[in-house]
A and B are shown apart, each in its own frame.
Chain A
Amino acid sequence: MTSQPILEVTDLTKHFPVSGSALFKNKSVLKAVDGVSLKVYPGETLGIVGESGCGKSTLAKTIARLYEPSSGKIVFKGQDIGALNSKALRAIRPKIQYVFQDPYESLNPRHTVSAILEEPFVIHTQLSANERAEKVCELLTKVGLPTNCLNKYPHEFSGGQRQRIGIARAIALNPDLVICDEPVSALDVSVQSQIVNLLLALQKEMGLALLFIAHDLSVVKHISDRVSVMYLGKIVETSEGQALYKQPHHPYSQFLIDAIPKPDPRQSKKRMRLTGELPSPIAPPAGCHFHTRCPLAQKKCKEEQPKLVNQSSNDHLAACHFIEESLNQWDKIWASSKENAR
C-alpha cells in the first residue's frame, strides 16, 4: 500500500499485575498483549483472529485507550495517543470509535435509544436539542432501524437491533477508525451476516478504517482486506486476507485455517489436530510461545523468540524460525485434502 497508515501500533504491551498475597507481593504479571505491532490504512479492514484468551480484546481496548498501555506506541494520524493526557484524549475520542462484543452489556439499560445516540453530540458538539434529534433520526436510518423507536429502552430490542444501535453510536461523530471487538459473536448466524454487511456498507459510504476482531475465521475472511493472527499476546502472522487463507505460513495459522468447516461432504474428516491448552499468559513459554503445541518445534524454538518478519514480496509477515518446513507441511495437507476431494 502506498498511503500512510492511519493507525500504527509499535511494540504495544499491556501487562496486568496479578496480585499475590497481601503480605508478600510476588510481582507476577499477566502479559495480555506482549509486543504487538500493526498498521491500519485508511478505508481498509484489518481482521484480527485468535482463540479465546489470546489478548485480542485487550489489544483492541488498549488501542482505544480504554486501558492504559504498559509500553509501546499507538500512533493515530501522526499523533502518539498512547501518551496523551485525559483531556487531549477526549478530543481525539470521536475519531476512534468502538463497537462492543455484547450488545446487551454495552448499552446503558436506563437510557432510551435517543439518549444513547444523542450522547456523542452532547459531549462533542454544541448542537441544539432539535438538531440533535435530527441527527439521531439520520443515524437510525443509516443503520436500518425505524425512527419510531426513539423512546424505547435497549431491552425492547433484539440482539441484532441492539448491535445496530451500538454501531450507530460508534459512527455518530464520523470517526476515521472503528474498532469492532467481536461485534457479531454474540449474535445468531443469520443476524451476523446482516451486521457484517451493514458494517461493510458503512465502511464504503463513510470511508471508515475497521479493526475487526473475531474468532470466527469465515467472518473475518468475508470482511477483511488484511488479517493478523494472534497467539498468546503476540501477532504470529499478518498478510493479505486471501493469501493467508490460501497459504498460511505460521503453523498456528495453518491449524486455524484448517479448522474452518468446509461445506463439502466428500471432504476428508481427517484434520490437523491442535493438542494441548493455551499456555498461561502469566508464565508464557520461553522462546516461541507456540512451541509447546507445534508439531515442528525444535530446540531453537524453545530458546529463541522468532521475529515477525516479511516472508515474501507482498507484505506477508510471519514469526517462525522454520518457515520452509511449515510451508511444506501445509502443502502436504493441501495435497491430501485435494486428493480426498477427488
Chain B
Amino acid sequence: MSSFSPQALRRWQRFKSIKRGYYSAIAISILIVLSLLAELWINNRALMVKYEGAYYFPTYGDILPGETFDLDYKWETNYRALKRQFKSEPNSENWVLMPLIPFSPNENDFIEGEYPPYEPSLASGHYLGTDMSGRDIFARIIYGFRIAIVFSIFLLSVTYIIGIAVGAAMGYFGGAFDLFFQRIIEILSNVPILYIIMIVASIITPNFWTLALLLAGFSWMGMTWYMRTETYRENAREYVQAARALGAGHSRIMFLHILPNSISILVTFFPFSVVGGITALTSLDYLGFGLPPPTPSWGELLQQGTTNLEFQWIWASAVGALSVVLTLVTFVGEAIREAFDPKKYTFYE
C-alpha cells in the first residue's frame, strides 16, 4: 500500500532521471539545512567550553558574561580571546571548542592598525574577507541565505494561499464574483510595488514579517489566473457533479475535489517563485528599502560591493552566492516542470 498515486510516483521517477535538477535539489536542500544550523558552525560563541572542571554550551540560550570564566568584564565572553588565553596557559585543563568559522555575522572584527575591509586570508580566518565594517563575509552570506530562503518560502506560502483561495473561488462561483475579482486583480497588478514599499519604508522600518506581508499583498495575483482556469475546467467535470449530487458543500467541493486535481500545475511554479522571492528581497535590500541593518543580507553586501568596486571580494562573493543559489533553484524548477510535462522526451535529461 502506498500513499502516493502511481502518477505521482512516475513523476518522481522522472524528476530523479533529470540528473541536473535532481542533484541541484539535493544541493539546495543541504544548503538549507546547513544554513538553518548555521549557529553550530558559524558563530563567535563557542560550541563547548571546559573551564575548571565544568562544561558550558554557549551556542544557544542566554549570553554568558565574561565573569563566568573569571574574566574582568560583564559583557559577553570573547571566546576567541578566551581560546587564545587557555592555549597560552601551560598545562591547562581548560579548553574552548570554537565553530568552524568563529565569527558572527553582526560582529565587527577589527585588526589593530588596519582599516576594514580586510582581504580574504586563511590566517585571519576570514575566508571570503570582511565587508566595509569588518564583518565576516562568509558568515553574512550564509546567514543572509537563511533569511532570504525563509523569507522567500514564507512569501510564497502566503501568496499561494491567497492566490489559490481567490482563484478557486473565482472559478467556482463564476459570474459577478468572478468579474468583480478580475477587476480587483487588474487594479492591484498595476500598482507599482516598489513605490509602495518606498512609501511604507519611509514611514515605518519594515521588519521581516511586515515586508513579507506587504510584498505578498501585491504579488498574490499571478496565481489566481491559473487557479481560476483550472477550477473552471475541473468544475465542469462529472466527478464534481457527483459530489454535488451527494450534497457536498462548496468548500468541500473546492478544497477536497477540485484542488487536488488542479494543484499540479502550481507545483511547477514553486521553484520559480522561490527565485522570485530571493531576487525581490535582494533588490529591496540593495536599494535600502529592505530589512533594517544590521540584518545579514545579500542585497546590502552587493550594495557595499558596487560602491567599493576596488575591493573585489565583496561584490564577487555576493554575485557568486546569488548566481549559485538562483541557478540551483532554477535547475530544480526546470526538472519539476519537465517531470510534470505529459510529453515524454526532454533535453534536460
Contact = CB atoms under 8 A, between A and B. Distances in A.
Interface of A: 61, 64, 66, 89-91, 93-94, 96-98, 100-102, 105-111, 119-120, 123-124, 151, 153, 155-156, 166, 169
B5 A100 contact: no
Residue picked from B242, B244, B252, B260, most chain A C-beta under 10 Å: B242
Interface in B230-248: 237-239, 241-248
B173 to A, nearest CB: 13
Contacts of A90: 247, 249
B90 interface: no
Contact of A93 (B1, B241, B245): B245
Interface of B: 1, 5-6, 237-239, 241-249, 252, 257, 260-261
A64 B245 contact: yes
Contact of B238 (A91, A94, A96, A106): A106
Nearest to A93: B247
B252 A109 contact: no
A64 B245 CA distance: 7
Given A108-B257, A110-B5, A110-B260, A119 B246 contact: yes
Nearest to B260: A110
Given A97-B245, A119-B246, A123-B246, 6 more contacts: A106-B241, A107-B242, A109-B261, A110-B261, A123-B252, A169-B246
Given A123-B246, A151-B1, A105 B237 contact: yes
B5 to A, nearest CB: 6
A100 B247 contact: no
16 contacts: A64-B245, A66-B241, A66-B244, A93-B246, A97-B245, A98-B242, A101-B238, A106-B242, A108-B242, A108-B261, A110-B261, A111-B257, A123-B246, A124-B246, A124-B247, A153-B5
Contacts of A123: 246-249, 252
A106 B237 CA distance: 8
Nearest to B241: A66
A150 to B, nearest CB: 9
A93 B242 CA distance: 11
A98 B248 contact: no
B242 A100 contact: yes
Classify the secondary structure of A's interface with B: mixed
A27 B309 CA distance: 70
A223 to B, nearest CB: 21
A108 B5 contact: no
Given A108-B257, A110-B261, A151-B1, A119 B238 contact: no
Nearest to A66: B241
A108 B242 CA distance: 9
B238 A100 contact: yes
Contacts of A91: 247
A119 B239 contact: no
Contacts of A109: 239, 261
Residue picked from B241, B243, B245, most chain A C-beta under 10 Å: B245
Given A102-B238, A110-B261, A151-B1, A66 B248 contact: no
A66 B246 CA distance: 10
A94 B244 contact: no
A98 to B, nearest CB: 4
Contacts of A66: 241, 244-245
B239 A106 contact: yes
B248 A119 contact: yes
Residue picked from A96, A107, A109, most chain B C-beta under 10 Å: A109
Residue picked from B243, B247, B257, most chain A C-beta under 10 Å: B247
A205 to B, nearest CB: 21
B58 to A, nearest CB: 49
B239 A105 contact: yes
**4 closest A-B pairs by CB:** A93-B247, A110-B260, A105-B238, A98-B245
B239 A108 contact: yes
A170 B191 CA distance: 50
A243 to B, nearest CB: 32
Contact of B246 (A105, A120, A151, A155): A120
A111 B247 CA distance: 17
Nearest to B250: A86
Contacts of A96: 245
A221 B249 CA distance: 37
B215 to A, nearest CB: 32
Given A93-B246, A153-B6, A169-B246, A100 B241 contact: yes
